[in-house]
Amino acid sequence: MPFTQRDDCPVVTTSCGPVRGVREDHILAFRGIPYAAPPVGASRRFRPPLPPTSWDGVHDASLYGPAAPQPTTLDFNPQQSEDCLMLNIWTPGTSVPGRPVLFCIHGGGFTSGSGSAPALNGQTFAANGDIVVVTVNYRLGALGFLDLSAVLGADYASSGNTGLLDLIAALRWVQANIAAFGGDPSRVTVMGHSAGAKSIGGLLVSPLADGLFHRAIAMSGAVQSIRDQATSAQLTEQFLRALGLTAATADRLLELPAATLMAAQQVWMRDVRGLHFFGPVIDGHVVTESPLEALARQGASLRPLLIGTASHEAYGFIAGEAVLNPPTEEVLRTLFGQGAAAVQAAYEQRSGRRCGESAPDMDVWQSVLTDAFYRSAALRTAEAYSQAGGPVWLYRFGAAAPQDAGHGSEQPYVWHRGFPAERAPLAHAVHRAWIRFIHTGELGESPEAAGWPRFESERRVVRLFDDTDTYVSEKDWAEAAAFPIQALTLG
């Protein structure tokens, strides 16, 4: 437990007023700082965030703010409220300016999580990398990504992207205020895992995020959760039906208790499988075009990107999601729609077994799901980046046992805490690489390490962060590229 002292923490002046956090060992922590006005009440729910209002006196930034409303309670932060648009900052100090900034977006399938998660505590990056770390809450689930444009009209044209607009508002706040906390607003790296990485996919292609960050780290997620409006309208219709509403009575969503919305969301998600429940929407304003086309259009102006996956992402999902078992043609159609044929062909080629006609090879099935849910989107995003002339590096995190390389397994190594003692050298390598990228946006030759080649169409190099820590050429490219870019959002 870090030593905490409140009175020794300096007061920092923000655009809305002064804040005082706490000193934890040698790091200063500021929690629960509002970056936007509370999106509460019928007039603000499902609407874009407004700028925060000023306060009198010194704001107490010693405690985390509430998490966004979600169907389950978080053990580490049981408070939930629609008044959740707050961020947290860790900094080595406020007197020395110009440190790089890490802006971290939590995961949770766009339906759960919080910037106050213990795994996202910014002390390690602040202490080891001399970095200012920001974590953020944003609206989740129906409150953050339910597209109501077709049923509530023009005022709700961006309702399918309110969660993404929250993140953009937080990045604007960082641009205006982070220098007071010792950060450099011209060196902001956005980083996220799972839904956090898929949110970064939205930020990378949204014109509203231009100039707000300068490099990106996407872990186990890319652009696969960005939906077209035909899909989002279908999901909205299903959600309304779960509440006993229709398009004609959809305005009741503005006044129903958040707990009622979350309860209906939980029931609906249990019954509806195979589609993206939530995620950014191509609405013509926040996201204007399909993501791979948007990356191609940006060309050489693309910001440096570090992207990758774990080697056995789907390992834990196989046991926890009955809909994923076994690999039958019906399951494949439910999960992948028109892309089912490519996934079925991959399973049958790798296993030598027909779907649904013999005992399934579950090891092969999880490898196919790993590729279809995660690896394919990372590869295709990296390929689009490379072809457009953008700087991109690809990694894959592995371990000898599949259970040690499942979804989220790289996080203790990235954040440099909670990893097995015998894997300390690997943890140091991962943490150092992330720190270097946050500082420079580069992973080539350096005094500390050999060069990490960029991912390029001519030589698709991936760094394997496993017990060997080697570079290899990405294999099975044609098969991975044939998988559908969109898949079930699980985390």
Phi, psi of 34 (to 5 degrees): -65, 130
User: What is the token pair recorded at 174?
Assistant: 């960082």
Q: Where are the beta strands (DSSP E) in 35-150?
A: 59-60, 86-91, 99-105, 132-136
The two tokens of residue 173 are 């706040």
Structure tokens at 215: 């490099």
Catalytic pick among 276, 312, 407, 416: 407
440 phi and psi angles, rounded to 5 deg:
-120, -20
Report how far residue 144's alpha carbon sits from residue 159's, in angstroms, rounded to the nearest whole number: 7
Separation CA 51–CA 79 (nearest Å) = 23
Tokens of 404: 């040690």
Please count the residues of the chain: 491
Two structure tokens written together for 335: 């999960």
> Which among 82, 313, 383, 410 is annotated as catalytic?
313
Separation between Cα atoms, residue 5 and residue 27, nearest integer Å: 11
To the query of whether residue 407 is one of the catalytic residues in this protein, the response is yes
Given strand 132-136, what is the order of strands in its sheet? 4-5, 22-24, 27-34, 86-91, 132-136, 99-105, 183-193, 215-219, 305-310, 392-397, 461-465, 470-473
Give me the catalytic one of 114, 158, 194, 351: 194
Q: CB within 8 A of 482, min separation 6: which ones?
A: 342, 345, 346
Catalytic residues, which ones? Answer: 194, 313, 407
